[in-house]
Structure 1
Amino acid sequence: MLESLLFILLLSVSALFIVIALIVMLIAVIRKSSALKKTALKISIIPILCWVLIAIWYLITLPSIRKSEMENFAGTYILNSSDNGSLKKSKSRIDGFKLILSDDGTYLFDGHEKIGLQKHGTWKTDGTDGLFEFYNENGNLSQWATPYGNDNNYSLSIEYQKGQDSKTILFVKIKSE
């Protein structure tokens, strides 16, 4: 939300100073004043700086943040819990779901497809409201996950429909040895 407000502020400031620069330039042309023309050009630097800040944010900073987030969340996840408590934490592949996220944006899923995840596909971190998006082989969105993470503990919460009820399962990242 703060990002959106800053974006709107930068665009508003930019538009305001463009209008001011154009008015000053128009007055300079009418009066044939080179000093006012120079002032108009100096005023036009502010919108350019605003656009540069927006470009730096969207072309450099955000991709870097997303890449770092993908690297942090990449790893092997196992099922921790569900709403109904019927699925328990398991470190073995025999009785638990396993989700492997690669930092190159691909995933492998060993579990039931009823939760909406295909056996393999791609994932990315820049979903709406910070959600992770999972795509099938054809590039169609198949599921969202809510990420939770700090320095040592990472988890993904996935909601799916079971009949008319909405269920939530939690995958927890296992520590690599």
Structure 2
Amino acid sequence: MQYKDNPEFTLLFESKMFDTSGNALKKGNEPLRFYAYANISNYHMSRFLAANAQNGYSAAGITPDVMNAICDKMIQAVNDKKIADVAVLANNLKYRTKYPVDENALLRMAMIYSFVENENPDKCESHWTDWKLKKILEEPEAYSFFLPIGLELTPAYSESLEAASASSLNKRTMMLETMSLNTSEPQ
């Protein structure tokens, strides 16, 4: 589908780092552009369902990938009879629910409601969401642009709007690092 110059869509963000295939932007190539429907009622039900599911993870302060990684480590720790490690990981999960505002969950929500060229707006496919998330995490300007959009679109965080500052997100990340078995674990 073509989004450029289509009145049904609004240009949200134009990358200064990546082209439409996700490679480094070179002179003469089309930049990666993110679009949204001009009218929210045009979104396909699959996007609303994906957003609802993401909101559930957001309320727990986690993304599905991180939750699975922590659960895998907990299972391994139980198998290795390392009960102290299980306690560390359980505290990590508890901390996330007490302080749920997670930047990756916010950005993921923003990606559910945005499109790039060649993405089907009538399907919410996780591989596209993951691909877009990877790109905006690599581009500081895109990250800064989409973070407040994700916050606005995440009902689970509506009560925590004032808590979602850059310093609070950094503090949360540092606390979670102390409750992790290693620092390579996604936060």
TM-score (norm 1): 0.28
**Using CA pairs below 8 Å that are at least 6 residues apart, which structure has the higher relative contact order?**
2
TM-score by length of 2: 0.27
Higher helix share: 2
